[in-house]
Amino acid sequence: MRASRAGVEGEDGGRCFGVSVRRCAVRGARCAVRGALGAAMAMSDDALREMGRRAAVLAAKFSPEQAGADLIQVYRWLLGEIPQPPCVRVD
């Protein structure tokens, strides 16, 4: 396991921000989270704002309101009332 600026060298006793990787509850997982948080904290304010904007757009696709609206469209489609909605993929 190797992370960019996170300081993770390996799962076999390497170091992760000064903590022995062997001490991680799930081998390397805690260090991966630490590395991701460290990388996020090193990002510029503009990059963080852009990341937040993209996350909000993605979260809206899975909101309870959107899930309900999609389900109604699926039921109406199955009943033959409307054409196939965009939330349905038939591959």
Spatial distance between the Cα atoms of 74 and 71, rounded to a whole number of angstroms: 5
CA 45 to chain centroid: 19
**Whether residue 10 is found in the same domain as residue 31:** yes
Q: How confident is the model at residue 27 (pLDDT cuts 50, 70, 90)?
A: low
Coil, helix or strand at residue 19: strand
Spatial distance between the Cα atoms of 71 and 77, rounded to a whole number of angstroms: 10
Q: What is the pLDDT of residues 31-87, one digit of tens each?
A: 788 888 888 889 999 999 999 999 999 999 999 999 999 999 999 999 999 999 999
**Whether residue 38 is found in the same domain as residue 12:** yes
Spatial distance between the Cα atoms of 59 and 7, rounded to a whole number of angstroms: 31
What pTM was estimated for this model as a whole? 0.47
- Residue 11, domain member (yes or no): yes
The range of the structural domain enclosing residue 15 comes to 1-42
Q: Is residue 19 within 8 Å of residue 51, measured between CB atoms? A: no
